[in-house]
Every structure is written in C-alpha cells, then in structure tokens.
A and B are shown apart, each in its own frame.
Chain A
Amino acid sequence: DTGVSQDPRHKITKRGQNVTFRCDPISEHNRLYWYRQTLGQGPEFLTYFQNEAQLEKSRLLSDRFSAERPKGSFSTLEIQRTEQGDSAMYLCASSYDPDEQYFGPGTRLTVL
C-alpha cells in the first residue's frame, strides 16, 4: 500500500497528558499537511510543510501543538497538556502539487 499512513489510528488519553501522532506521506510527495476534524464538521487546516520547512501554521494551532517533519519525510504532531477540546480526528495529507492532496485514514483522539 503506497498511500498516506497514520499511526496510531485511535488514541485515548487523560487530560493533561502529552500525545504524539505520526504521518507517513506518499513517498514522492514533498508537501505534507495536517488537518483537524471535529464531529459534524469538515476538516480544518492546521499546518503545512514543504520538504522539512513548516511554511504555515493556522491560528487553530495553539502553543500546545507542535509539528515537525525531520528530513522531509514522515511528520509528527505533538499535543502537550491535552484538553477535552482537543478531542477530534487528526488527518494528514500529502501532495506533490498543492491542489491534489491525498489523505490518510486519520488518528482519532479522545481526551477523557
């Protein structure tokens, strides 16, 4: 399977804990995106990488969120001191052209 993969698929954590998600893009894609989707809503943009450079961050991405893409390959999204409002599906996408984004299966986070 050469699609976008995300790990874990589900994460349950207690409020205040730190969590980290991983995204492996399609191998030839140099662009990587993180989106967040809450129940009943469409995905909302969080951040964007071109190769290893983080070029844009949404105001939705508070100081508790940090994303990295070392060596321009996989990416990690870390949430520190999780809050119940962080409960959502976190979607990763990758592309070669910005207008053809292919999405992974998502990581569903539940904060208790």
Chain B
Amino acid sequence: AQKVTQAQTEISVVEKEDVTLDCVYETRDTTYYLFWYKQPPSGELVFLIRRNSFDEQNEISGRYSWNFQKSTSSFNFTITASQVVDSAVYFCALIPAAGAGSYQLTFGKGTKLSVIP
C-alpha cells in the first residue's frame, strides 16, 4: 500500500516570499511516479508535475521548483516569489508504475497555501 504525507496543513506567506511545501511518501514499489496538483477554490485539480522514481534531477519551471530525494522519500515543492494567484490547496500524489494499483493515485491530505498581498 502507498502512503503520502503532507505534514503542513496550512501555510500563510506574504506576497513575494518563497515557500516550500513538503511531501513524504511510503511505497514498496521500486518504480513509481510522483505528482503535484493544485486545487484552486473552483475545485478543479490542476496537474503541475510528474516525476519518475528513476529521475532524481531537480526540476524548475518558472517560479516553481521540485526537489526529489529518494533517500529520504521526499518530493518537496518550492514556489519562488509567491503571488496571490498561488493561493490554493496543493496535493502531492503517488502512483505505482506497474502492477497492483498502477491505475490509482494516492493523495496526501493537501497543504492550503494562502498568499497575503
């Protein structure tokens, strides 16, 4: 069984501050994918990134960056120079790459980010 833990329930930052959202996962699978999704107040889950368990390179996309460390089973997400539009609930998720449950995303409980102008 998979488990995803997002220990930070809510975070508030002032606009332009950097913020890191933590994600720790547990899985027995050797290959898997990790994800981050954004859920704004409208409710729709917006895909942000997918990371293969074989690829531990950090990734940067604009103001977003992701730090994957397999040794600590963590996949953290940093927003640089936060903006009010970043306010949302952010979910980390995991899916096995093959075998049982390879169709089923396991989500953490989410971190609610509030960016204060």
Once A40-B109, A98-B95, A99-B33 are accepted as A-B contacts, the answer to whether A45 and B104 lie under 8 Å apart by CB is yes
Give A64-104 as 1s and 0s: 1 = Cβ < 8 Å from B's Cβ atoms.
Answer: 00000000000000000000000001010100001111111
Query: A21 interface residue, CB < 8 Å from B?
Result: no
List the one stretch of B38-46, B63-71, B80-88 in contact with chain A.
Answer: B38-46
Binding site for A on B (CB under 8 A): 4, 33, 37, 42-47, 50, 91, 93, 95, 97, 102-110
What residues of B have a CB within 8 angstroms of the CB of A33 in the complex?
103-105
Give the docked Cα–Cα distance between A35 and B46 (Å). 15
Whether B44 lies near A103 (C-beta < 8 A) is: yes
A103: chain B residues at CB < 8 Å are 37, 44-47
Q: Decide: A99 and B95 in contact? CB cutoff 8 A.
A: yes
- A56 CA to B43 CA in the complex, in Å? 25
The answer to whether B107 touches A43 (Cβ under 8 A) is yes
CB of A99 within 8 A of CB of B107, answer no
Partner of B105 from the list A41, A45, A104 (CB cut-off 8 Å) is A45
CB of A92 to closest CB in B, whole Å: 11
Interfacial chain B residues near A93, Cβ < 8 Å: 45
Q: Verify if A31 is at the interface (C-beta below 8 Å from B).
A: yes
Instruction: Collect the chain B residues with CB atoms within 8 Å of residue A102's CB.
Output: 47
Minimal Cβ-Cβ distance residue in A for B37: A103
Which of B93, B103, B110 is close to A56, meaning CB atoms less than 8 Å apart?
A: B103
Contact at A105–B103, with CB atoms within 8 Å? no
Which of B33, B50, B95, B104 has the most chain A CB within a 10 Å cutoff?
Answer: B104
Which residues of chain A are near B97, meaning CB under 8 Å?
A: 99
* Closest CB in chain B relative to A25 CB, distance in Å: 14
Query: How many angstroms between the C-alpha atoms of A56 and B106 in the bound complex?
Result: 15
CA distance A93 to B93 in the complex (A): 14
